[in-house]
Chains A and B, each alone.
Chain A
């Protein structure tokens, strides 16, 4: 890839950088350090501002998660012991054990103090540290949603490019229509359809995949890896099917914006092949909005896919959140909410920090 093909993406120093024509900086004059240093300072200030914003957001999440989940009706202790014989003394003992006998403010101070030391408390229902339960379920979620993320991003970018390049053609209309349809399909419903069709089997279609879970249990080594891959097929297809449309549509519309640009005509006039014009000139410029979307989506990878995880009995964070909410298991709900929010905030901040490097117009 040559520098001229995509100045915005590659020339991180911006129009005043050493490569720009007529810039005194290119001549290496001492006075040229001024604007560059100013740029770096401006960028660092911008980054500091974004990081500061993220810290404030995290604190807001901490406070909100504590009070918000206390609005959920229900007595956690009573819910936990639902349907079992419990005496009043037992209930009181459990309240004391979980600190529920204290005032809400006292509980809040305990909670914030503990969170600052990395302690999210003990899950009511699992009698185990919240962080242990989260770290136990995190790999399963990252594996599932991470794989789906990579696939739907790639498919979305590729199909978005194709459809925009053939704007208005049958293929474009079909692909956009299909993507929009799948985007509007409830993921749990699609998951169930896939289970019935490809896990149980219908007519000539044999049941090829497991109906749920992450593994069969008892496998080791390569057999284990293959077993997990086998279990991943249907949930990943579900997530990709309902997820790729977003990337496709963003990619398509930003590429359509680029398509009338003069630099593309110039590129063609130079005699470049059509797919080179597309791949090396149009697509990199049109990728910017998609990159933002990619970061936003990357943040949600951690939050997983609650419905898909539930339908496929996937032992990840989504399923954990579902069971924590049904108690309600307050420490676990709070911990998960904090982790989910942190992931989104971090990824958004990262996008903010990286974006000026990709597009120098931002952050000035």
Chain B
């Protein structure tokens, strides 16, 4: 007890005893009242937070909630770039064709059939007659023609989809069920035009397409779901389209809920607040492991559509052949590139870095796209073989010196830099292994981890880089980024190229596959391109990371993966997962937990309410005393 307290007590001995506890009580009650304001939500039976995915008791609506990490950039199909936005467009608009969940082959969508003319330059699509816009109007070929023409006109539609139409000459709709596309050159990707078809009668009223975000709800569409509500960085709500030609989805509502933090999203799944969580692009091995033993949760692991690779800088150059950048000239020697790849243990990377959640890399296109996937033959394969690598380096003129370092004929040691994404832990981990493996060979390696690697990359100021792309069912795009045409016009300017590869043989094959309408023949040419890429040593595909995601089995009874046998759920090429998802019957286990929570909350709020009343009474008494 300090002097002040004593002083106080002597000054007013009669009033001290009852006053001190009262002061404490008052403060406790004040704190309680503040807490009450915050916890008030608990006291309500309307408390709607948990179990959104569970059937709501009142209206019996089945809601499927998906945790997503991305923001929606735009709800306009002419502007959207991000996976979440384009996935929403897959669900709300029909595309001319869709991809079979079994085998990725093109199947009818908005068009029921399609065929090229004899000269391969005119494609005719038959448009289905049983597709209606959600405002009741019939969807016709005229809508498709209007959409394609709008993209081709480039009036503020430069952001999205215009790459599909660069080779288009003319698009017309001679009848409501007939769409005709004329081409400048033959194009094998005519059944893979991933362009959402919008309703002409709605969109032709838009003043400036480049500024219209399509966010007036509900949005008129003809896909399996209708977009009904959207709040930035909170949620996107879609309701099942009862008139969808392929059949109504089983869930009444689909909600994409934003979780900026992946661990928070996993917690929400564990609690049952969301039915599904996908990774960015995969759940971490730790998250997957922790969810695997949870009751009512299934961790789904499917072959990924991405490849994880090492790319070398083959000498940055512009479209007209002007060289720039500072790539190590030693890498212009194929033997050096191959030696580097012979000293990379892909199996160790899959086991140690990806902890088994990946498949060992080989060809450029992941095995999930079985038509185009390619594997090197036994004699072509560059397996882990440090001895052969050392021999190749010796042959290339980089012998070991007394210190165990590889030195070129000019006396310079063989040192490389590798660009790594600071945000990707896999890059960093593999970087450490490379340092060790290549160090054993006598090669120095500096791992440059940057938040944004695009600046040195486009400036050609790197020797090697961690590279990775998502591959579509049609491989045209990822093959196209290695053609000479993709090189930048000016030095350091960003362009469509991935890492400055430009080779005549590869380019000829690329042109040939694009003009080849026979699927088997085209696949054969694509594999020849992959074989060339592999031999060149420019691209070393280390692994195909798996798609690791999880969902609640007490909320989702069944769901279609793509490929159907063992594939992924989020970010499919069609709408199969959400369209096919079947709600689980019965009560979710986490529901009990939440009702206990609500009961406790009600009790806590009641205590605080009583306390609040007491506080009020005490305050009145206190002021009365002070007045005395």
Contacts and interface: CB of A to CB of B under 8 A. Distances in A.
Interface of A: 72-75, 77-81, 83-91, 93-94, 97, 122, 125-128, 133, 136-137, 147, 151, 154-155, 158, 165-169, 188, 192, 195-196, 199-201, 206-219, 223, 226-233, 236-237, 259, 264, 268, 271-275, 277-278, 309-313, 315, 319-320, 322-323
B494 A91 contact: yes
B41 interface: yes
- Identify the 9 closest CB pairs spanning chains A and B, nearest first: A274-B8, A230-B41, A93-B158, A208-B597, A74-B452, A210-B49, A211-B268, A206-B597, A206-B596
A128 B229 contact: no
Nearest to B592: A206
Given A126-B74, A232-B38, A274-B11, A210 B489 contact: no
B4 interface: yes
A88 B494 CA distance: 8
B588 interface: no
Query: Size band of the B side of the interface?
Result: 35 or more
Interface in B234-262: 234-235, 237, 255, 257-261
Given A213-B258, A272-B11, A229 B37 contact: yes
A103 B379 CA distance: 54
20 contacts: A80-B81, A87-B163, A88-B486, A89-B162, A90-B163, A97-B156, A127-B213, A166-B5, A199-B271, A207-B590, A207-B597, A208-B594, A209-B42, A210-B50, A216-B48, A217-B234, A218-B48, A229-B38, A233-B39, A268-B7
B621 to A, nearest CB: 15
Nearest to B599: A206
Given A127-B210, A212-B260, 20 more contacts: A74-B452, A81-B81, A84-B81, A87-B166, A94-B158, A126-B232, A127-B159, A136-B232, A165-B2, A169-B2, A206-B597, A211-B267, A214-B234, A227-B41, A233-B41, A236-B38, A272-B11, A310-B261, A323-B71, A323-B233
Interface of B: 2, 4-5, 7-9, 11-12, 15-16, 19, 23, 27, 30-31, 34, 37-44, 46-50, 52, 71, 73-74, 76, 79, 81, 83, 154, 156, 158-160, 162-163, 166, 210-211, 213, 229, 231-235, 237, 255, 257-261, 263-265, 267-268, 270-271, 273, 450-452, 454-455, 458, 469-470, 477, 480, 486, 488-489, 494-496, 590, 593-594, 596-598, 600-601
Contacts of A155: 31
A166 B495 CA distance: 68
A151 B31 CA distance: 9
B307 to A, nearest CB: 13
Nearest to B492: A75
A303 to B, nearest CB: 17
B495 A88 contact: yes
Contact of A227 (B47, B211, B480): B47
Contact of A207 (B154, B271, B469): B271
A103 B225 CA distance: 45
B4 A277 contact: yes
A165 B16 CA distance: 16
A151 B34 contact: yes
A268 B10 CA distance: 10
Contacts of B263: 192, 195
B46 A207 contact: no
A80 B79 CA distance: 11
Contacts of B74: 126-127
B455 A75 contact: yes
